[in-house]
Structure formats: C-alpha cells, structure tokens
Amino acid sequence: MATQTVQAPGRTPAPQGGKVGGGLLDPKQMIRSLPDALKKLNPATMWRNPVMFIVEIGAVFTTVLAIGDPSWFAWAIVVWLWLTVVFANLAEAVAEGRGKAQAATLRAAKRDTTARRLKSRASAEWDVVGAPELRQGDFVVVEAGEIIPGDGDVVEGIASVDESAITGESAPVIRESGGDRSAVTGGTKVLSDRIIVQITQKPGESFVDRMIALVEGANRQKTPNEIALNILLAALTIIFLVATATMQPLAIFAKSVNPGVPDSLALTADGVSGIVLVSLIVCLIPTTIGALLSAIGIAGMDRLVQRNVLAMSGRAVEAAGDVSTLLLDKTGTITLGNRQAGEFVPVPGVSERELAEAAQLSSLADETPEGRSIVVFAKQRYGLREREIHGAEWVQFTAQTRMSGVNLDGREVRKGAATAVMKWVRDNGGHPTDGVGDIVDGISGSGGTPLVVAERGRVLGVIHLKDVVKEGMRERFDEMRRMGIRTVMITGDNPLTAKAIADEAGVDDFLAEATPEDKLALIKREQEGGRLVAMTGDGTNDAPALAQSDVGVAMNTGTSAAKEAGNMVDLDSNPTKLIEIVEIGKQLLITRGALTTFSIANDIAKYFAIIPAMFAAVYPGLDALNIMRLASPQSAILAAVIFNALVIIALIPLALRGVRYRPSSASKLLSRNLYVYGLGGIVVPFAGIKVIDLLIQFLPGMS
C-alpha cells in the first residue's frame, strides 16, 4: 500500500532504567475505552479468557436469580459482578487504545501515490502506475521532491531522504546503493538527487501496514508464557469451582443437623444461596491477574513502541527478558565510532606544548572527527586556542599520501600514518628520530591509532588517537552482569586492539576479526549451552546471525534482508538500544510475575470474609475466622465482591507502566517481589475489605 507523511505518533525516547512514562491512568482515556470494553462482553470474545468468562457466566446467573427473587443485596452483588467483568475488559481496552490511536493517525496519513515503474532496471522507459499496483521485483525511479511509493532497496544512485514520517526524526538520512544503507520505506520523501528502487514488499504488506497492525495489536498472538499462565489460571479456576460445588451439600447437611438455626440469606434448608455461591467463586478464582494479563503484554509492546522499536511478536519481547548473552558491535555501540585525540607523545628534545601546537596547526582545516578532536584536545590540555590563519596553503589528506598538513610562513607541518610521514621527513633531508618506532608500536599495542607529526626535516612526536568508549558503558555492563547477562563485543579489529577496548569497556568477552560465519558460530555455541542470545545488525551479512539469535534487532537504516531476518526493528538505528530492550523484556516478565503473586495472595482475605459469613451461624466456632470483625454476613460478602472489582481498576496503572526494574540477581528479585507483592497481597485486602464493610454496613439489606 501507499504512504503516510506525518511523524510517527507517540514515539518519544523513554528514560533509562526500565521505567517508561505513560502508565498513569487518564480518566479521559478510560472513558474513550469504555465502548470497547462493553463490546468485549460478547461471549465469543470473553471465552478466550477462561477466568473472566466464568465471572461473566456468574454475572448472568446472578442476574437471573435477582430477577426471580429481588432484594437490595442480590442486585448489589449483580451490579458489582458485572462491573468486575467490565473493569477487566477496560484494562485490556485502555492498553489497546494507545496503539489504536497511533494506528488511526497512521491510517489517516496514508494516501495513494503514483510510481514511475521502469520496464526493466536498464531501461529508460517507464509507465505511471498506482503504488498499490507495484509488485515484488519492480523497479521504480524516484527523484527529488517525490514520495517513495513502496518499501525496497536502492539499486542505483544516492539520495538524501526525509524519514520523519517513520522515525519522527527531522534530520534527513543518506540512502545509497551497494551498502548497508540501501533500504528505503514507502511514504518517505526524496529530498535530493535521483535513485532507482527495487520493490521488496508484497501488496498490502508494506512497513507502514505492518506498523499499523503491530501498534494496534491486531496481530498480537499470546506468547508461550501467557499461554502457560492461562493454563495455570484455568486449572486454579476448575479447582475452586469443584471446591465451591462441595459447599452446597455441606451446607444442606449442616442445616439438617442444626434445624433450630434460623434461615438466612446465605444459608437455608435448601443450602447456600446461588448468589452467595457465585460470589464465593468469583472471589476465590484469580480474577485480578486474569483481568490484567492481556493488558500487561500489550503494554510491554507499547513501551517498545515508545522507544521507537517495533517488535514483530510478543515472543521476542519475552525472549528479551530471558536473554543471557548480549552480542554488541564495538563501533557505534560500545565506542563512539570516531577515534579521538587522547595524548600527545613527543620525541626526545621536543616539548609536549610544541608538539601540541604543531598538531593543532596541521589540523585547523581538517574537518574529520579525528582532526577536530586534535584541535579541541590541544585547546583543553594546553590552552591553545584556534586562530584565524591567512595565506596558508592547506595540504588535504589523500589515500596516496596518507597525510595532511599546512604550509605557512616558511613552515611545513604534516601529520599522518607513521610510514608516510617518516618517508616525507627523509625525502626532505631529515633522518629517522630515535624512539619514534617504539612510541608508534606502543600506541598500536594498546589498541590506539598513532599519527606522527613532523616539521620539514624532523619528527616532533606522535598523536595517540583512541577509540573512545562511550560514557557510562562500564556501569551499564556492570548492571548486565548483576542481571546474570554475559556481554560479548564483536569487532573486526585485531585481537590486541579488541582486548584493549574490551578491558576498558568492561565487557565479559570479545570476538576479534569477526566474520559473518564467526558470528553465526558464536550464537550457535551459546544456544547449545541453553542460553538465549540477543544481537543487533544492519547489513545483509548480518541476516543469518539475526535470524539465528533469539532476539535480533535490525537497524531501520539497514538492508531489507536484515529487517526481514530480525524480530525487532529499531527505527532510530541506535545499536545501544539493545540494552534497553532487554530491560523492557525483564520488566514485562517481572510485572507479570508480581501481579500473579498479588492476585493469588489477595484471595486469602476473602476466605476470612466469606467462609465465616456462610457457616458461622451453624458452626459458631468459625466466627473466630472473622478476624476483620465484619458487621454482618451480607456486608462481608458484598465487601469482598466490591474489593475484588476495585482492585482491578487500582492495578491497571501498574499493569500499563510496569513494575520498576532494578538490576539485581534473580534470587534478590524473587525475594523482593515476594515481600512486596506477596505479603502486600495478603495485607492490603484485609484493610480494603474492612474499610468497604464500614462504608456499606448501614445500607439497606446489610443486616
């Protein structure tokens, strides 16, 4: 399909540390989602959630009973059971609503466009067709000011492309043929030059179409963990159904051996009231996690979208939470990618300041990152300020000379590769300087790049260019280690250089002089040991490794092959985001586990509320279980049902935002969550049910 031309909605980088904004519950958002929540009451939809389906059946059953034998108590129970189902649907609808809002914006911005389709790649003839008519393998020509009609790869030419419609970034990017930056997306705009694009998409399966499907959750399949948890919840529901069913014959027997006990709303000669039995079932089964499970999964996907990452499946997000090995490229991920001046090493007889002044002078016209870093380093270290120079003859760097410099006021200063500069010195009547070779070898051995600086006839010293490790990377890798994740740096550098960078960055291991085959073999070795592996890539040669890894994050700037092979796409093309993706995955798993623990734990207080209310009249000893001292059986049962519904609403913000993740060992995380959500799940309902009982005890029918 065709295109869209606005910034992708709702994609703002989130703070690090696993906590993403947007979890707070907006009342307006709840109101907007309410119609969708009511639509989900359709049994054809509800049966996919066994726990809440049982609650809906119970709500229907109690409604029928209340119509046949109306009372204030019966209708109060009916209302709150229906609210329980609606609140559960609302949690999912609110989570889905965010994605649907983004999808609506994308759909509104899509528009049909035309394409100039070439007869063949080598042909100069073309015809005009609608973008939806394009097929895989078609070649189209796109010039400045035109919209790229479909996803594809640049096979000829180079152009500046505005991708703000997809990434939200206003800065244009370069797309060119023959490299790892050849992929283009339908809906983006060519700003300059002319390119020929080979279409790689199938009709209706463009990147924009997939974005719409992903952000609105239309293709969201339940993950293996969700399926397993649903099975567990269904099993618990069946157990509680059987346990509750046994209450009826027990109640009939108890009433028969105690005929003097007057009938009550909860207990008669015919047994327990059907409304009370349904209330007991709903309060005992794990309704809290049953209501929030889908919302937790959808919100996890949404947190990735907020970071400009598209996950092609929920399975990939879960896998990110279980990753135990991270493969990270050195350049651009661990290091800045541009070597920076880090030291001036003069030869004997030359001062550091003299060397710094010559190095800066030779670099004033050097616009490369390395050249600018030399000027800045000389200024910061020695106070040498940049100055305007008139009448200078600048010598540009070339692949043949491998050096650059300046001729000024009779001085000739050069900097560059050691062999090239030394040859220049000898050609100008100079002689090799003692110690230069040792300095050059020492810098190379430490993983740096040496640039020799010379003035006609003599060598002044060597500039040590360092491949600078990004600030904070060691701390991030320390966090990974506390999480039990092993980090491996991938680089094409020689082993000596790779080891120096790995030691400085603090990674656990490195793979030097890596080829695509080496990456694939490393991933397979890790997986054979039972570990899950995550990696990033952008080139066609990365595709096999991305496909093999459990979490493959393809850069949006990369090739179509890389994006097809990975199970996530980073729209910002930031390799370090892999670390954040892992944190989001872990936060998803922790949130699901924490709320499951809370859901099961908070049922305990309901036992102490409902069981004494049902049987204390015939077994007075059970009144000792009424530790909350609830006012009456009716108020106790209704208070438990009300709390059961309200706790769902109370936990929706946590389900959407996620439990805060703190890097630590699995045992510490487990003990912390058991303490907070296990113990909290036991204590909070006791207080909540008691407060509700105090508020409703004077209502009609509560005595």
Q: Point out the least confidently predicted range of 30-39, 164-173, 429-438, 684-693.
A: 164-173
Q: What burial letters (b/e) apply to 462-480, b meaning 16+ CB within 10 Å?
A: bbbbbbbbeeebeebbebb
Q: Which of 328, 333, 335, 336 is nearest to 489 (CA)?
A: 328
Q: Which of 619, 616, 569, 604 is nearest to 680 (CA)?
A: 604
* Phi and psi angles of residue 463, each rounded to the nearest 5 degrees, phi first: -90, 130
pLDDT at 59: 95
Q: Quick check: helix, strand or coil at residue 32?
A: helix
Alpha-carbon span 141 to 325, nearest angstrom: 43
Counting residues of the chain whose pLDDT is more than 70, the rounded percentage is 85
Q: Note whether 114 and 98 are within 8 A (CB).
A: no
- Assign 305 a pLDDT band (cuts: 50, 70, 90): confident
Half-sphere exposure of 480 (CA within 13 A, CB side): 28
pLDDT at 261: 61
pLDDT at 209: 73
Which single residue is written with the structure tokens 């973008």?
A: 131
* Phi and psi angles of residue 509, each rounded to the nearest 5 degrees, phi first: -155, 170
- Sorted by where each starts, the structural domains of the chain and their CATH numbers stand as 27-97+219-303+584-697 (no CATH), 111-214 (2.70.150.10), 324-334+470-571 (3.40.50.1000), 341-469 (3.40.1110.10)
Alpha-carbon dihedral angle through residues 297, 299, 304, 306, given to the nearest 10 degrees: 170
Q: Which amino acid is at 462?
A: V
Q: Which amino acid is at 235?
A: A
Alpha-carbon span 50 to 265, nearest angstrom: 29
- Specify binding-site residues: 366, 370, 397-404, 415, 538, 542
Complete DSSP assignment for 468-500: EEPTTHHHHHHHHHHTT-EEEEE-SS-HHHHHH
Q: Residue 157: is its pLDDT beyond 70?
A: yes
Tokens representing residue 380 in the block: 């910061």
Mean pLDDT of 34-40: 88
Q: Residue 19: is its pLDDT beyond 60?
A: no
Alpha-carbon span 181 to 231, nearest angstrom: 45
Task: Determine whether 329 is an active site residue.
Answer: yes
Mean pLDDT of 21-30: 59
Beta strand 458-469 pairing with 449-455:
antiparallel
* Phi and psi angles of residue 596, each rounded to the nearest 5 degrees, phi first: -65, -45
Q: Residue 22: is its pLDDT beyond 50?
A: no
Per-residue pLDDT tens for 645-677?
Answer: 999 999 988 988 888 877 776 677 778 888 889
Per-residue pLDDT tens for 222-279?
Answer: 677 778 888 888 888 899 888 888 887 877 777 677 766 665 555 655 557 788 889 8
Q: Which of 441, 550, 573, 455 is nearest to 497 (CA)?
A: 441
pLDDT at 21: 39
Alpha-carbon span 299 to 98, nearest angstrom: 9
Per-residue pLDDT tens for 165-176?
Answer: 666 666 688 888
Q: H or E segment at 465?
A: strand 458-469
> In whole angstroms, how far apart are CA 461 and each of 347, 431, 469, 537?
5, 14, 25, 39
> In whole angstroms, how far apart are CA 295 and each of 105, 291, 470, 657?
22, 8, 36, 10
Per-residue pLDDT tens for 379-418?
Answer: 888 777 666 667 788 888 776 778 888 888 888 899 988 8
> In whole angstroms, how far apart are CA 618 and each of 536, 633, 701?
67, 13, 21
Report residue 85 CA to chain centroid gap: 30
Alpha-carbon span 645 to 638, nearest angstrom: 11
Alpha-carbon span 525 to 522, nearest angstrom: 5
Alpha-carbon span 307 to 609, nearest angstrom: 45
**Residue partners of 241: CB distance under 8 A and separation at least 6:** 54, 281, 285
pLDDT at 14: 36
- Assign 437 a pLDDT band (cuts: 50, 70, 90): confident
Complete DSSP assignment for 178-241: TSS--EE-TT-EEEEEEEEEEE-PPTT--HHHHHHHHHTTTTPPPPHHHHHHHHHHHHHHHHHH
Q: Residue 289: is its pLDDT beyond 60?
A: yes
Q: Point out the least confidently predicted range of 116-125, 321-330, 629-638, 658-667.
A: 658-667
- Specify binding-site residues for Mg(2+): 538, 542
Name all contacts of 542-546 with Cβ < 8 Å and 24+ positions apart: 542/516, 544/516, 544/519, 544/520, 545/327, 545/516, 545/519, 545/520
Per-residue pLDDT tens for 184-235?
Answer: 888 788 988 889 998 887 777 776 676 666 665 544 566 777 788 888 888 8
What average pLDDT does the chain have? Answer: 81
Q: Which of 39, 38, 79, 37 is nearest to 59 (CA)?
A: 79
Q: What burial letters (b/e) apply to 617-648, b meaning 16+ CB within 10 Å?
A: bbeeeeeeebebebbbbbbbbbbbbbbbbbbb
Which of 329, 467, 550, 570 is catalytic? The answer is 329
Q: Residue 636: is its pLDDT beyond 60?
A: yes
Q: Which amino acid is at 464?
A: H
- Specify binding-site residues for ATP: 366, 370, 397-404, 415
**Residue 488's beta-bridge partner residues?**
327, 509
In total, the chain counts a number of residues equal to 703
Alpha-carbon span 420 to 418, nearest angstrom: 6
Q: Point out the least confidently predicted range of 55-64, 380-389, 575-584, 653-662.
A: 380-389
Tokens representing residue 254 in the block: 């108890």
Q: Which of 164, 117, 111 is nearest to 2 (CA)?
A: 111
pLDDT at 216: 59
pLDDT at 2: 36
Q: Point out the least confidently predicted range of 6-20, 271-285, 612-626.
A: 6-20
17 phi-psi bin (left φ>0, alpha ψ -120 to 50, beta other): left
**Residue 406's beta-bridge partner residues?**
394, 413
Dihedral (CA of 582, 592, 314, 87) sign:
negative
Q: Quick check: helix, strand or coil at residue 681?
A: helix
**Residue partners of 121: CB distance under 8 A and separation at least 6:** 139, 155, 156, 196, 198
**Residue 129's beta-bridge partner residues?**
115
Q: Which of 644, 645, 622 is nearest to 633 (CA)?
A: 622
Mean pLDDT of 500-518: 86
* DSSP conformational letter for 7: P
